[in-house]
């Protein structure tokens, strides 16, 4: 008999996307009697729970349970779902995701072949809404200028990596290295995977394990998401400074130089030219990337939409990172 599997999902106000996830879990090729879905809900205020209840009534043959995440954070939701789950293998998904039908089957196969302690795949990123800015954001979220060498968002090859977004692991791994760190309100996956690697384990990426991920629908939501990523990345790096990658260092360095030049240009004329040069070069690079993508995809709005989205990602991530550092200095002095 194949091993039992628990899919765990933290969610909050996911009325617009939760049905996509539920239908995708229902479509899994893995034996349904060996599969359960545990959703940890952070006290949603929209119709998320109504959608889940309706699905449960329609498909009573699939085990779907909802637990309340009183702490209302992603890592607390993950840990609570793990505690409530029963599967030998745990698959972590997201309410914004839609795994392919073979997702669970391929995760289990990779574990049985001994590929890695934490196994995941790649994202196919789709717009979170039917608007030009949402579509621009979806392209930015998979573009090298936006995500650097984050292989799970690009055309990756199978192999060991730093992290995977939606990992799968045996329950015994939690017993060995501990659960998700609830003091980190973001970057919990990266921190978890760091502990996997530092314990001698392998984080394995298999590009045949694929899921659709719905990106943020507005620049405001994108800015909030990436500010949070940057803020909590520094908190994670304070524990594991050796895990810093170039793609993570560039945004805060760029933002620091950007704002430093603004301040210095108030008194030094030459600095004004340096600032102007930085702005021109930066947006020229983004503009050329937007032009190339607009031509390739035959979508004219990408000419300005891609630069808007990528610059939002850079500035939000970098500002969140720097603000986290400033607050840390005050806490130390205090």
Q: Which two tokens stand for residue 200?
A: 């001698």
My answer on whether 198 and 305 are in the same domain is no
pLDDT band at 139 (very low <50, low <70, confident <90, very high): very high
> What are the b/e assignments for 294-320, b being 16+ CB within 10 Å?
beeeebebbbbbbbbbbbbbbbbbbbb
Q: pLDDT, tens digit, for every residue of 280-319? A: 999 999 999 999 999 999 999 999 999 999 999 999 999 9
Mean pLDDT for the stretch of residues 272-286: 94
Q: Give the separation between CA 126 and CA 123, rounded to whole angstroms.
A: 9
Q: Give the separation between CA 3 and CA 112, rounded to whole angstroms.
A: 10
Mean pLDDT of the chain: 91
My answer on whether 207 and 247 are in the same domain is no
Q: Give the separation between CA 307 and CA 303, rounded to whole angstroms.
A: 7
Domain harbouring 205, CATH code: 3.90.550.10
- The answer to whether position 66 is within a domain reads yes
Q: Give the separation between CA 51 and CA 56, rounded to whole angstroms.
A: 9
Q: Give the separation between CA 166 and CA 205, rounded to whole angstroms.
A: 10
My answer on whether 130 and 243 are in the same domain is no
My answer on whether 268 and 320 are in the same domain is yes
- Residue 171, domain extent: 5-215
- The answer to whether position 225 is within a domain reads no
My answer on whether 64 and 101 are in the same domain is yes
- The answer to whether position 192 is within a domain reads yes
In the chain, the largest separation of any two C-alpha atoms, in whole Å, equals 74
My answer on whether 143 and 244 are in the same domain is no
Q: Give the separation between CA 71 and CA 264, rounded to whole angstroms.
A: 43
Q: pLDDT, tens digit, for every residue of 223-270? A: 999 999 999 988 888 888 888 777 778 889 999 999 999 999 999 999
- The answer to whether position 226 is within a domain reads no
For residue 255, what pLDDT is reported? Answer: 94
- The answer to whether position 289 is within a domain reads yes
Q: pLDDT, tens digit, for every residue of 62-74? A: 999 999 999 999 9
Q: Give the separation between CA 54 and CA 15, rounded to whole angstroms.
A: 12
My answer on whether 197 and 245 are in the same domain is no
Q: Give the separation between CA 35 and CA 177, rounded to whole angstroms.
A: 24
Q: Which two tokens stand for residue 118?
A: 């934490």
My answer on whether 12 and 82 are in the same domain is yes
Q: Are 263 and 323 in contact, with CB atoms under 8 Å apart?
A: no
- Cα distances from 183 to residues 146, 232, 307, in angstroms, run 27, 10, 34
Give the contacts of 77 (CB within 8 A, at least 6 positions apart).
10, 11, 40, 41, 42, 69, 71
pLDDT band at 193 (very low <50, low <70, confident <90, very high): very high
Residue 333 pLDDT exceeds 60:
no
- What values do phi and psi take at 38, rounded to 5? -115, 115
- The answer to whether position 220 is within a domain reads no
Mean pLDDT for the stretch of residues 213-229: 93
My answer on whether 171 and 248 are in the same domain is no
pTM, entire model = 0.86
My answer on whether 209 and 107 are in the same domain is yes
For residue 153, what pLDDT is reported? Answer: 54
Q: How many CA atoms lie within 13 A of 167 on its CB side?
A: 29
The domain total for the chain is 2
Residue where a domain terminates, one of 184, 215, 246: 215
Note the Cα 306 to chain centre separation in Å: 19
My answer on whether 198 and 291 are in the same domain is no
Q: pLDDT, tens digit, for every residue of 140-183? A: 988 888 776 555 555 578 899 988 888 999 999 999 999 999 99
My answer on whether 199 and 256 are in the same domain is no
Q: pLDDT, tens digit, for every residue of 3-62? A: 999 999 999 999 988 999 999 999 999 999 999 999 999 999 999 999 999 999 999 999
- The answer to whether position 170 is within a domain reads yes
């Amino acid at each position: 008999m194949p091993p039992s599997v628990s899919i765990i999902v933290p969610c909050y106000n996911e009325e617009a996307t939760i049905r996509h996830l539920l239908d995708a879990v229902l479509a899994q090729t893995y034996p349904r009697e060996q599969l359960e879905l545990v959703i940890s809900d952070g006290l949603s205020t929209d119709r998320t729970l109504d959608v889940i209840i309706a699905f449960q009534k329609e498909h009573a043959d699939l085990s779907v349970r909802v637990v309340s995440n009183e702490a209302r954070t992603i890592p607390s939701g993950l840990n609570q779902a793990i505690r409530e789950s029963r599967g030998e293998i745990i698959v972590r998904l997201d309410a914004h995701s839609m795994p392919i039908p073979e997702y669970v089957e391929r995760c289990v196969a990779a574990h049985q072949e001994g590929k890695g302690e934490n196994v995941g795949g790649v994202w196919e990123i789709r717009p979170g809404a039917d608007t030009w800015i949402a579509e621009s954001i979806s392209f930015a979220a998979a573009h090298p200028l936006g995500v650097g060498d984050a292989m799970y968002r690009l055309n990756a090859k199978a192999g060991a990596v730093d992290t995977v977004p939606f990992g799968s692991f045996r329950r015994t791994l939690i017993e060995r290295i501990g659960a998700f760190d609830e003091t980190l309100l973001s970057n919990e996956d990266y921190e978890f995977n760091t502990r996997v690697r530092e314990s001698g384990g392998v984080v394995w990426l298999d590009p045949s394990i694929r899921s659709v991920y719905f990106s943020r629908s507005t620049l405001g939501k994108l800015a909030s998401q990436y500010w949070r990523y940057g803020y909590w990345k520094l908190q994670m790096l304070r524990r594991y400074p050796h895990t810093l990658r170039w793609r993570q260092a560039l945004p805060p360095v760029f933002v620091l130089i950007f704002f430093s030049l603004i301040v210095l240009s108030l008194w030094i004329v030459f600095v004004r030219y340096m600032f102007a040069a930085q702005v021109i070069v930066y947006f020229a690079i983004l503009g050329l990337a937007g032009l190339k993508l607009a031509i390739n995809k035959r979508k004219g709005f990408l000419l300005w939409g891609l630069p808007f989205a990528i610059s939002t990602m850079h500035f939000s991530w970098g500002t969140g990172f720097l603000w986290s550092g400033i607050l840390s200095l005050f806490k130390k002095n205090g």
